[in-house]
Amino acid sequence: MKKSILYLSLFLLFQFQVNAQEKTEEKPIPEAEVFTSTQTVRINGATHSLKTRAGTFQIKDENNEPIALHGFTAYFKEDGPSKRPIIFSFNGGPGSSSYWLHMGVMGPKRIVVNDPGLTKAAPYELVNNDYSILDIADVVMMDPIGTGLSIPIGKAEGKDFWGVDQDIRATSLFIMQFLKEYDRLQSPKFLLGESYGTLRNAGVMKYLLDKGYAMNGVVMVSAVFDLRSLVFPVQENVSYLVHFPTYATTAWYHNKLSNKNPNLEAFVDEVREFTESEYMPALFKGGRLAAAEKSAIAEKLAKYSGLSKEYWLRANLRVSGSEFFNELMRDEEMTVGRLDSRFVGINQNPMNQFAITDPQSDAISPAYTTGFLDYFYRDLGVSKKLHYKTSAYSSPGFKWDWTHSGNQGWGTNISITTAPDMAETLNKDPNMKVLIMNGYYDLATVFYGVEYTLDQMNLRPEIRDNITMTYYEAGHMMYTHMPSLEKFKKDLADFIKDATK
């Protein structure tokens, strides 16, 4: 009995020592690192010198505990307090770093690509970005946690950042704390997000306003606020309807239509009218649609899409995006791009029902990736010991939590949308402006989808007037197309000037 008590005492003492050692051996919190340089950009004949910072910024939670090193690159015209507009910019994914926007349109340099064809391997051309917004605003490129140099620290884990609400919170914490640290609280403030970054934007603008940080303007590049418009749910017609006008513009671009209207905008209006007045009622009828009606609708779908009437009938008048990519140019054994349907690539399996590659991504990704990394380490002077991750998908345990507090109904998440967040924010702050930039050939986030979402937000006319829609004859990353890049700069500059009056 005495031996048992002795063994128990020794065991408890050992456990106490182990627990105490574990507490004292908590891994140290790494320090933020910032690398400074001076960059220049020449715009409209004037050269602008930019105080540049690239590295990490420590963000803390609501209890002042460090939770992450957030990666960023900031371009400032001057240090200290400034009334110059400041734009916080990021890409989407979720799980993408910001290097696409950084090297495509926002930074002082841009990567030259062969739009809309294949860009050859290195050496890649890095040139002065004549169309950067840096002549009228400072820019902070943000890399969400798990991308770029951004990592969780302290007691935080990846799951604390990888989700709709978690991501909105982390992005907002960075912006609020960055503004304070760099004395920019009095600057006109803007958000600029691309793709999933627009869904994030709609949540961040609400989060920030609720914390007392009002944005002057929010810019949505290739927008989506309601994921139901993209994912083709079972027994749900919205995705098929909102994709159809982009099927039509794609067929128009590739000359798959007979007697097409030569004016693209007029053609789009014609397709919108058909979609709303004829295609939508037909899908709503479902099995009640008479055979003759179905045949007539299939004929018109073929007229506008470049796919055969027989194909539409076999598909029961419903063709998903991936099916369209593969079908439009199947006879040529080619497939069109999802991100930008102007791009075409080899169809590796013409018998396949679905596309298995994205020609635009294949054509430009190496140039953007390699060109950015060379710029990041060589021009910005970031230590080569630090690994920049272009996406979070290689991060251990990366999995996105799609629940959103604004979508709870009947005790469950019935949709994934931040459109209500955006509507609430615009109603609370009628001075806030929104710019939505849409590519006619974007089959990743279709322009008619965001139009539909806005129409369902029940905004008063004077609030709806605060939303500006612009369109480009390009795709998801419209800035790869030179005429669209020029228009992008003009539209963005006009928007910032209007929002800071």
Residue 80's pLDDT band (cuts 50, 70, 90): confident
Residue 395: pLDDT over 70: yes
Average pLDDT over residues 291-312: 98
Residue 406: pLDDT over 90: no
Residue at token pair 């820019």? 139
Residue 209: pLDDT over 90: yes
**Is the distance from CB of 249 to CB of 265 less than 8 angstroms?**
no
Q: How far is the CA of 435 from the CAs of 81, 159, 217, 223, in angstroms? A: 26, 31, 8, 10
Instruction: Out of 30-39, 88-97, 172-181, 407-416, pick the least confident.
Output: 407-416
Instruction: Out of 43-57, 187-201, 228-242, 254-268, pick the least confident.
Output: 228-242
**pTM for this one?**
0.93
The C-alpha angle with vertex 389 and arms to 104 and 220, in degrees rounded to 5, equals 40
The C-alpha angle with vertex 486 and arms to 74 and 255, in degrees rounded to 5, equals 130
**Residue (of 198, 113, 127) closest to 474 by Cα position:** 113
Average pLDDT over residues 220-237: 92
Residue 385: pLDDT over 50: yes
Alpha-carbon Rg for the chain, nearest whole angstrom, is 25
Which CATH fold would you assign to the domain 34-228+366-499? Rossmann fold (3.40.50)
Average pLDDT over residues 395-414: 80
What are the structure tokens assigned to 256, written together?
């798959």
Residue 412's pLDDT band (cuts 50, 70, 90): low
Residue 100's pLDDT band (cuts 50, 70, 90): very high
Residue 48, C-beta contacts closer than 8 angstroms, at least 6 positions apart: 40, 41, 42, 77, 134, 135
Q: What is the pLDDT of residues 179-206, one digit of tens each?
A: 999 999 999 999 999 999 999 999 999 9
Average pLDDT over residues 292-314: 98
Residue 430's pLDDT band (cuts 50, 70, 90): very high
Residue 10's pLDDT band (cuts 50, 70, 90): very low
Average pLDDT over residues 361-380: 98
Sign of CA dihedral 358, 393, 87, 368: negative
- Residue 23: the pLDDT is 47
Reduced to 3 states, what is the DSSP secondary structure of residue 27? Answer: coil
What are the structure tokens assigned to 285, written together?
């009828």
**Is the distance from CB of 485 to CB of 129 less than 8 angstroms?**
no
Average pLDDT over residues 16-36: 70
Residue-range domain boundaries for the chain: 34-228+366-499, 235-360
* Alpha-carbon gap, residue 230 to 448, rounded angstroms: 11
Q: How far is the CA of 312 from the CAs of 38, 257, 302, 307, in angstroms? A: 57, 15, 7, 7
Q: Cite the DSSP H helix spans in 342-446.
A: 359-374, 419-428
- Residue 409: the pLDDT is 62
**Average of per-residue pLDDT values in the chain:** 93
Residue 26's pLDDT band (cuts 50, 70, 90): low
What are the structure tokens assigned to 338, written together?
């999802």
Q: How far is the CA of 280 from the CAs of 272, 308, 417, in angstroms? A: 11, 19, 22
Strand ranges for 205-273 from DSSP E: 217-223
Residue at token pair 């604004």? 406
